[in-house]
Structure 1
Amino acid sequence: LNAALLSVDLLKISKEILRGKGAIGTMISDTVIANDLKGTMKNLNKTTKGAAATAENLNKLVVALNNDNNVVGVLKDSMMGNKIKKIVSNFDATSSNLNKTILNLKDGKGALNYLSNDPSLVKKIDSTMLHVNQASVKLNENLEALKSNWFFRGGIKKMEKKKLEAKQGIISK
């Protein structure tokens, strides 16, 4: 009896979806929404890759500063050093969370389940992506500004010198 009722309910739901009703039905029948969602996912993947690359570059900068023993002592005791550590930590956590979210979306978990109950989620995702892109631009601007800051200039010059020496070592071999 329960299986028969369940089958009837599933048939009703399937028919509604095929008629284009509800969030899932709309997504299936409306190619614009489906294409927008695909585009959003592509942008989310690109942003995640960019965020991971930025985090990796920032981590390399921090490692180089630690290895050079130049301004690290000052950084460890200063508010600036604590802020940079917090930024890196938050950025790594955000990047990790974005990767988990993408994996959940690919596996049919997470936000995709909300689409069936909240059709406005696509707009929210677009808005979030806009904010992520803006934050990424601002982070890049801040990193560029740090390069010209007298406090970091010595460490950055040493990193660039090491890169050049490494590159020349490869070329001469």
Structure 2
Amino acid sequence: MSTTDNKRKVTVGIFVFLGIVIFVAGVFILGGQQKRFEKTIRVNAVFDNVAGLRVGNNVWFSGVKIGTVKEMKFYGDSQVQIIMNIEQDAQKYIRKNSKARIGAESLIGSKLIEIFGGTEQAPEVQNGDRLVTATALSTDDLMTTLQENNKNLVDITNNMKVLSTKLANGEGMAGAILTDTTLADNFKTILASLQNASSNSVKVSKDLARLSAKFNTEGGLANELLTDTVVFSNLKSSVSQLQQTANSAAEMANNFKEVSSQLNSSNNTLGALMNDQELATNVKKTMENLQTGSEKLDENMEALQHNFLFRGYFRRRAKAEAKERDANKQEVEQVQQSPEPR
């Protein structure tokens, strides 16, 4: 065997060895990525539509990869059963009442199965258990919803266009406010009036607050009226007396009314004097006659005093009256001069 042949064999052996090493490393790397060499349990779920899910796709829990899709097969009439390999390390976090749904890594990414939910009171999932499935929103549904939203957006845009056109043309109340200066001035006047009314309301509120504070001030009349029962009783008594006085005044007014009605009548003396002109004239003549008679009587008495037959009588009467006056004067002087009692 020549040296050239030996070199060729060594070179081939090296390349074969390197190929075997690369192959084994690739197997271990791919197996590690697919977690082929880790202990797993099998869990299944039944879906109505897998939406393009394939064997080998990932299984996620809380955003972390915990297994892969092992097998897919039809189940029942039109459903699909998905068998998943789940790592034993993640088994304690998945409960029997957890749910499974089909999702995607991104909007156009690969499909995956997402396990979510579950309560701590429920036991851990076991090998061979079936999870309840939840319907996920598919890409078609998303596109349908997006298309519907686009239609709504177009309608809203058209409505805004029509509304802005009407506002610019001064149509409607808002358009009139924006374009009609007279209406705008009236609106400003209304706002000013409302502002003044608001200011007045604030002032009234402050006045009411001050009045309330005065009512709560101890010693004040308002506070006494509101809190002191004695003052209230006195006030009540005064009001009762005023009511009685008012009743008496009303009764007196009724009496005056009755008297005035009688005075206006000719059926009594005063009424006849005030209302019967003939009787009043006769009474007046009678009074005049009496006055004339009295004057004549005085003249006659004066004449009698100067008559020699009655002159002595009147002199004796004058002396007796003078003597009586002197006696009364002396009695008064004696009383004034007597000492005051101690």
User: TM-score scaled to structure 2, two decimals?
Assistant: 0.21
Q: Which has the higher strand share?
A: 2
Q: Which has the higher helix share?
A: 1
User: TM-score scaled to structure 1, two decimals?
Assistant: 0.40
The one of the two structures with greater contact order (alpha-carbon pairs below 8 A, sep at least 6) is: 1
